[in-house]
Structure 1
Amino acid sequence: MNIDIFRRIGIVGSGRVARALALGLKPASHKPPLLWGRSPEQLAEAERQVDGIETTPNLGALVQTCDAIAIAVADDALSGIVATLAAEASKTPSSPFVFHVSGRSGAAPLAPLRDAGWLTAAIHPAMTFTGNPPGEVARMAGARFAITGSSVDAAVQARRVVGLLGGVAVEIPEERRALYHAALCHASNHLVTLIADAAQALERAGVAAPRALLAPLVQAALDNSLDRGFGALSGPLLRGDVQTIRDHVAALAAHDPDLVAAYRAMAVATIDRLEHEGARPDAALRRALDSSGAVP
């Protein structure tokens, strides 16, 4: 079904996110979505992977023909793209709605385009993209999108785009975007490191398939924590089992010393959270984790 919300949607980029957006927003574009990218090979691959789109080697074509433009490029490339679009903006009277999909920034990096009279916003899908556009379009439906508009009208347009993708818009103030992005990275990126470290320790303990052993435990912990918050905590820190903590740190120091610092940091953070929640953990737990006295 074609919704015809926009005359034409343009997308700056040809990678995973760009392709998913092209497919997801295609029903809202009267003309086929138009993609620009620096790599002709990636553009050709995008056309093969997503039916019903068109590509161009000319970034100015998006400014001239599109009334909505999504910028889906690496964070470090954003400023250069904005500068190029701003230069193109001076050549045409059009004033499209433009948004980027970076998590770390709000609408501020698009200020040159806002100053040219464009509506500008940040729209960040809080999910990962693996290169399967149909699957990603399905997952965007119901996903949360962090939006930051440079104006009330821009925020309205951002919500409109999120709605077209079937998502749920969550407004993040400009000055809190870095905090928002840090929270996502802490929850998702650091989780990958945590699992990798735990799997390595299990290998050194003699476990042949450490991830298979971890999977049900970690999945249950994740599900419970999303459902119950910090109330899902279990284990020796909650029980106040000081000797177990001493044994853990000693074993790690002997067999996996690279993990000691991370284990201590997470254990101390857990004790801090327990205290924040009103519990009174045994002070001996902190002493057991102290670098000067943890290992007998």
Structure 2
Amino acid sequence: MNQKIAIIGFGKLGQTLAKALKNTTWNLVGVFDKECDKGKNIVQALQLRYYDNLETLLFEADIIFLTVPDNLITTLAQKIATLNYNNKNQYFFHCSGSQNLDALQPLHTSNIGCFHPLQAFTENTTSLENTYVAIDGEQSSLNIATKLAHTLNAVPIHVPANDKPLYHAAACILSNYLVSLTCIAEDIFMKWSIPREALFGLLQSTVHNIERAKNTASALTGPLSRGDSSTISQHLEVLPDKYQHLYCLLGLKTLDIAKANGTITDNNYLELRNLLNNKI
């Protein structure tokens, strides 16, 4: 590819994108971050240029990724719009899961788009392979985003602008709230000095079961899936008060799944539903 790509914002996502792009035929020319030392070792390892001047980077790039926090995207777009350079053929992509194209409107160009990998990033993430990427934009921007995704062995999916908040809420439930639930379980397990490493086997086996199941719901196990009201009653007797409400709310959803799976009787369902509702 002859088009030159630049990355503005070099946190976990920016670093992952740089590592992934460097192993492709796309021409990644360099990065910019207001914290000029962020990820400097990665820039050196990838033999990239760390620009100390934003205008210089913009002048040399054809495709620019804004991998900054959501609340800084529009501010950055406004700053870019004030700089004294002119390249009407440039394309700008932000990587927010919640923001739509309006965040880039200060650029006054239709060559804008969204490119959000549905993945949780760490400093050690090096690839977007098999990652689903939510894209949006005018047709020319969608074409570029699609080509980029395919080059990275990712899977592009079109999420329209109006649906971005709901899409991002689902992502937060799956990723962020899983961390929250794990913290709650870890807090309870600490009563017996059980280390956090002990949780990993259960977490990994659950994910493995979901992957292998014909659908997510059919991977459900546990007392609610069996209609075991005696065990649920015991849980409610011993759980700390601070976790009772959340346990019951999640239990009601789990109960609906068990009913849909056909693993409990109508009587089991009603008995357990009343049990959980009485604790809310």
TM over 0.5: yes
Distance in 2 between the 1:215 and 1:23 partners?
28
**Equivalent residue for 2:202?**
217
**Equivalent residue for 2:126?**
136
Deviation at 1:108, TM superposition (A): 2.7
Which string of whole-angstrom CA distances, capped at 9 and with x for unpartnered residues, describes residues 171-226 of structure 1? 1111111111111111111111111111222222x2x3243443333322222123
The structure-2 alpha-carbon separation of the partners of 1:44 and 1:218, relative to structure 1 and needing over 3 Å to count, comes to closer
SS at match of 2:122: coil
- 1:22 counterpart (15, 18, 34): 18
CA RMSD between the two structures: 2.2
Q: Number of aligned residue pairs: give it.
A: 274
Q: State the percentage of identical aligned residues.
A: 26
TM-score, normalised on structure 2?
Answer: 0.88
Distance in 2 between the 1:211 and 1:283 partners?
36
**Equivalent residue for 1:147?**
135
SS at match of 1:244: helix
**Equivalent residue for 1:111?**
105
**Equivalent residue for 2:7?**
11
Distance in 1 between the 2:228 and 2:253 partners?
16
**Equivalent residue for 2:225?**
238
Q: Point out where structure 2 has 5 or more consecutive residues left out of the alignment.
A: none
Distance in 2 between the 1:42 and 1:259 partners?
39
Q: 1:18 corresponds to which letter in structure 2?
A: G
The structure-2 alpha-carbon separation of the partners of 1:116 and 1:215, relative to structure 1 and needing over 3 Å to count, comes to closer
Work out whether residues 19 and 126 of structure 2, in 8 Å CA contact, stay in contact via their aligned partners in 1: no
Distance in 2 between the 1:245 and 1:210 partners?
25
Deviation at 1:45, TM superposition (A): 4.2
Q: 1:270 corresponds to which letter in structure 2?
A: T
Work out whether residues 86 and 116 of structure 1, in 8 Å CA contact, stay in contact via their aligned partners in 2: no
Distance in 2 between the 1:277 and 1:183 partners?
22
Q: 1:96 corresponds to which letter in structure 2?
A: Q
Distance in 2 between the 1:287 and 1:217 partners?
29
**Equivalent residue for 1:101?**
95
**Equivalent residue for 1:51?**
46
Which string of whole-angstrom CA distances, capped at 9 and with x for unpartnered residues, describes residues 238-270 of structure 1? 211112111101111xxx222212211110111
Deviation at 1:53, TM superposition (A): 0.7
Q: Point out where structure 1 has 5 or more consecutive residues left out of the alignment.
A: none
Distance in 2 between the 1:212 and 1:23 partners?
29
Aligned positions of 1:234-273 closer than 5 A? 234-252=221-239, 256-273=240-257
TM-score, normalised on structure 1?
Answer: 0.84
Q: 2:275 corresponds to which letter in structure 1?
A: A
